[in-house]
Amino acid sequence: MSLLSKICNCECSLTNAFLWTALAVGIIKVTRSALSFFTIILESYILPGVNFAKYGANKGNWAVITGASDGIGKEYAFQLAKKGFNIVLVSRTQSKLEIVAKEIETKFKKETKIIAFDASTDAPENYELLSKSLQGLPVTILINNVGQSHSIPVSFLDTTDEEMSQIITLNNIVTLKVTKVVAPIIESTIGDKKKVHGLILTMGSFAGLVPTPYLGVYSGSKAFLQNWSASLAGELKSKNIDVELVISYLVASAMSKIKRSSFTIPNPKQFVSATLKNVGRRVGAQERFATITPYPSHALMHWGIESFIGVYSKIVNKINLDMHKSIRIRALKRAARLEAEKKQL
């Protein structure tokens, strides 16, 4: 065999090896995507909900919920009470908390405790009050729901120092400090009980999943919670405390300023129901440890972005930039119109 023939045969072998390797990698990726998609459908629509007996339901245990007077936090309180937990309601406005507490006690026949403080101040006495109020209570669940976004989309350089500080304080500092108070109480409650677990859920956001221009501080604060929550999950796993970040797209609430629900925008009741149904399952967050994207349409959106575009891709960044620029323009026009109407009165 000539040298030329040997070279040609070698090149053909290398080409064939490359093609077979590429084919194998392609098959693996397609199979993996198909399995993850099937898992989302299975967990969203087919599997029964998680049994909260795992967390001590109907055994006199308590759930602590921050931001509990409205929207998602209020719905967590109702649905956990229905599952058999007494409820500690933590929020700023005493009168609103009293209304929620009365409704829980009347409708679900569960005990409640109210802790009213303004989390935006990050005052030491807030955490002292929380710690003192929880003394002696068998707490097994913490829902970190308190948070704040920008009043309207705004560039980072135009974000006021006041708004920047409020977002970071509420979304990050308060969440971490509340967890430092409550987590040891959960650990003490479950002790060596192998059949009872603790649970810490922290509200994340699609703005933390993907970089979001014109919501930069909020986006960064929620991305911070992703790494912190997953780190905490690793630390507390051996202590039988389950920790998860809950990722959501828009929910019809006071915070989002959206009043009507739709296929991609659930109301608080729908969102919380999906979350509690799937605690411990990742649903749309297939690639992330200790993370759940529970609502079905949000799960499919998360999976699609992660699988085909990439959460840090230029395309996603540009889409978010254009969308929030448009929202800002509309918000400013509406504010100007309202101001003009006010002057005419």
User: What residues have CB less than 8 Å from 128, skipping those under 6 apart?
Assistant: none
Q: How far is CA 331 from CA 162, 190, 256, 267, 328, in A?
A: 20, 48, 13, 22, 5
Q: What is the DSSP string of 133-165?
A: HTTT--EEEEEE------SS---GGGS-HHHHH
- Quote the CA–CA distance of 217 and 14 in Å, as a whole number: 50
Q: What are phi and psi of 60, to 5 degrees?
A: 80, 10
Residue 218 tokens, joined? 């909020």
β partners of residue 39: none
Quote the Cα angle for 173-156-145, to 5°.
30
- Quote the CA–CA distance of 203 and 247 in Å, as a whole number: 7
Q: What letters, b where the CB count within 10 A reaches 16 and e where it falls short, cover 294-318? A: bbbbbbbbbbebbeeeeeeeeebee
Residue with tokens 């799960």: 299
Which uninterrupted H or E stretch holds 245?
A: strand 241-246
205 assigned to a ligand binding site: yes
Catalytic one of 76, 214, 218, 295:
218
Q: What are phi and psi of 116, to 5 degrees?
A: -100, 120
> For residue 288, how many other CB atoms are within 10 A of its CB?
18
Is 218 designated active site? yes
Q: What are phi and psi of 272, to 5 degrees?
A: -65, -40
Q: What are phi and psi of 188, to 5 degrees?
A: -70, -35
* DSSP 3-state of 205: coil
User: What residues have CB less than 8 Å from 268, skipping those under 6 apart?
Assistant: 71, 72, 74, 75, 251, 252, 253
Annotated binding site: 205
Instruction: Give binding residues for substrate as ranges.
Output: 205
- Give the residue numbers annotated as catalytic, written as ranges: 218
